[in-house]
Chain A
Amino acid sequence: MATGIGYRILLVDDEEDVLYVFRRALEKYGYVVESFSSPEKALERFRANPKQYDLVVSDVRMPGMTGYELAQGVRKLNRRVKLMLVSAFDIDARVGEAFFPELRVSEVLTKPVAYKEICRAVERQLLSSSSSSSSSKAGQDV
């Protein structure tokens, strides 16, 4: 089960219960997860050490800063980190593709997401990340 050992994930969702479930699930798989209910605080944390993270997983519709805005901030600091968005709205994936293609979001998951599903999605992203040697774990520069 511990496929995630060594990978660091920044997890953002304004719903504390969702954050808790996702965090627990990912930690069971061995990932190091830093979770934030505030996207502003999450970005501040990311800014402090942008090379530290392999993946950012964020909700889209949050007050104060949308997931797209968070992704823009993250992308400015690290061009290679993987980005995954989660939303309860189908339209958000289309909006992302149409209006924010430069973000290069790897995947948009539709809520509700079963914990196994998010773990599989994260694994997919990080395995493809490893194969393309783009993660910070692989020692690449941003």
Chain B
Amino acid sequence: MSEAALRQLCRERTGLHNLLVFDDIVVFREVYCEIAKAALPNNEILIIMTYFETPDQVKFYLREAGVNVDLYGKTGSLFVIDSVEQFFGTNPTDTLRFIELLNKKVRREGKKGVIAIIDMDAFFHLQDAGLEKYELEVPSGTAGGDAFLCLLCAYHRGNFERLDPATQKAITSRHSARAGI
């Protein structure tokens, strides 16, 4: 991904439902670090659902990028979660419900909005795990008031291209801003 494309993606984090197809985990890492650096000091809530890296690894790279992980974690502004645990674990949380709860928190605590970076590669973990259904169900509304909700659905190209062309097209069309396609 070019630096210009990455900057564009970070600017467009206030879009509603964005898509990133990355070729290398390093690109994904760069994206979540850049978004964290921009969003967290701006009083936004950031959720990172990771797949290829463990939550501890993500936190390590965030710290390396200068993000105060402990502070933002304690204040409930930063959540780093394994996406397989989230979607398919023994106590899976309904992601949409989770985001709705965060929306309430946004309104209650005067935050500016919620950004969720979701590594969708978790859906390939169990094969045919309802990826399309999920993509169609995700909300495209705002959190209410001046707050916003931004979802960034990320796919490794090696997985995205396993989808048949019609599904790729359907998923792509569900997203407002796209990078790396």
Contact of B165 with A by CB under 8 A? no
If A92-B84, A95-B84, A95-B88 touch, whether A63 touches B126 (CB-CB below 8 Å) is no
Known: A64-B158, A99-B126. 11 other contacts (CB 8 A): A61-B52, A63-B157, A63-B159, A64-B156, A64-B162, A69-B127, A88-B57, A89-B85, A91-B85, A91-B89, A95-B126
For residue A64, which residues in chain B have a CB less than 8 angstroms away from its CB? Answer: 156, 158-159, 162
In the complex, what residue of chain B is closest to A61 when comparing beta carbons? B52
For residue A66, which residues in chain B have a CB less than 8 angstroms away from its CB? Answer: 124-125
Binary contact readout B101-137 vs A (1 if CB under 8 angstroms, 0 otherwise): 0000000000000000000010011110000000000
Contact of A94 with B by CB under 8 A? yes
For residue A63, which residues in chain B have a CB less than 8 angstroms away from its CB? Answer: 52, 121, 156-159
Report the Cα distance A7→B128, complex, angstroms. Answer: 36
Contact of B82 with A by CB under 8 A? yes
CB distance A95 to B125 under 8 Å? yes
In the complex, what residue of chain B is closest to A69 when comparing beta carbons? B127
Report the Cα distance A89→B84, complex, angstroms. Answer: 9
**Whole-angstrom distance between the Cβ of B5 and the nearest chain A Cβ:** 20
> Could you list 30 A-B pairs, sorted by A, with CB under 8 Å?
A61-B51, A61-B121, A63-B52, A63-B121, A63-B156, A63-B158, A63-B159, A64-B156, A64-B158, A64-B159, A64-B162, A66-B124, A66-B125, A68-B125, A68-B127, A69-B127, A88-B57, A89-B82, A89-B84, A89-B85, A91-B82, A91-B84, A91-B85, A91-B88, A91-B89, A92-B84, A94-B90, A95-B84, A95-B125, A99-B126
For residue B126, which residues in chain A have a CB less than 8 angstroms away from its CB? Answer: 95, 99
For residue B156, which residues in chain A have a CB less than 8 angstroms away from its CB? Answer: 63-64
For residue A99, which residues in chain B have a CB less than 8 angstroms away from its CB? Answer: 126
Binary contact readout B165-180 vs A (1 if CB under 8 angstroms, 0 otherwise): 0000000000000000
For residue B157, which residues in chain A have a CB less than 8 angstroms away from its CB? Answer: 63
In the complex, what residue of chain B is closest to A14 when comparing beta carbons? B52
Report the Cα distance A56→B157, complex, angstroms. Answer: 26
Contact of B54 with A by CB under 8 A? yes
**Whole-angstrom distance between the Cβ of B168 and the nearest chain A Cβ:** 15
Report the Cα distance A89→B127, complex, angstroms. Answer: 18
For residue B51, which residues in chain A have a CB less than 8 angstroms away from its CB? Answer: 61
